[in-house]
Amino acid sequence: MKQIIIGISALLATTQYTQGQTFESVPSWSEEFNYEGKPDSLKWSFDYGTGENGWGNNELQYYVNTPQNIAVNNGILKIHAIHEPTNEMAYSSSKIKTLGKKGFKYGRIEVAAKVPRQVGTWPAVWMMPVHNVYGGWPKSGEIDIVEHVGYDPNQLHITVHTLDYNGMNNNQKGSNTYVERAISHFNIYRIDWTEESIIGYINDKKVYEYLNNGKGYASWPFDQEFYLIVNLAVGGNWGGRQGVENETFPATFEVDYIRYYPLKSK
């Protein structure tokens, strides 16, 4: 049985306000993973390969679409990072996205997930712009709903990246939250995204706030559609900062559900 740490359910939290706005009580899009086999092709597509494809942070995995790396069973999506030579990379793993299937603009996005324990892992549920309205990264922004690095097991991260504030400049705007049972339980990660702010929650506790300062896209590119990404990376500039414990793999990133509640009209 899944162990989920639950505060107030998002279904019951519609009276919560974000800069004076509320969210619908019923999701207009959700992925409950209540089926068996590969991720639903009507909702998800795959990324393949390595950072040579134009993304990545010197990671060690090669993204594939194989049953041993990604599968849905018993109501859970499981992504497995395996220590095995794969197309000249040391690891195989998987990465899925809603690009071409579904874009999101404003609303509440809630994720129930359990992160792996292995040193060297770098799981994430995050968002990138559908159309890159303001140009390539970081000009059009990035929203990280939850990130985790295995060498820091009880710390969870919610972050945004923009032209003014991003990881390359080492001034990205993010939170670093201690969660005692981060790797042993499913926890609930959420962002409430409006025209004025992105507010982050872990288990319904507010841990993050990023405000629209009104200075334009360089600090607020979040007025366009973004798509969802779920992946498990290995090593890299952040995940591999304290090495990778090869002998402890395979590692598994588990996601119970993802739900999107639209922003109510003012």
Q: Which residues are catalytic?
A: 142, 147
Q: Which long-range contacts (CB under 8 A, 24 or more apart) does 197-206 make?
A: 197/18, 197/19, 198/143, 198/160, 198/222, 199/18, 200/145, 200/158, 200/175, 202/146, 202/156, 202/158, 202/177, 203/5, 203/6, 203/7, 203/179, 204/6, 204/7, 204/8, 204/10, 204/13, 205/7
Do residues 226 and 130 touch, judged by C-beta distance below 8 A? yes
Contact 164, 218 (CB under 8 A): yes
Report how far residue 99's alpha carbon sits from residue 228's, in angstroms, rounded to the nearest whole number: 7
- CA atoms of 159 and 198, how far apart (whole Å): 10
Report whether 102 contacts 43 (CB < 8 A). yes
Q: What value, to the nearest 5°, has the Cα angle with vertex 218 and ends 192 and 266?
A: 35
Residue 78 CA to residue 70 CA, distance in Å, equals: 6
Q: For residue 101, give the 3-state DSSP assignment.
A: coil
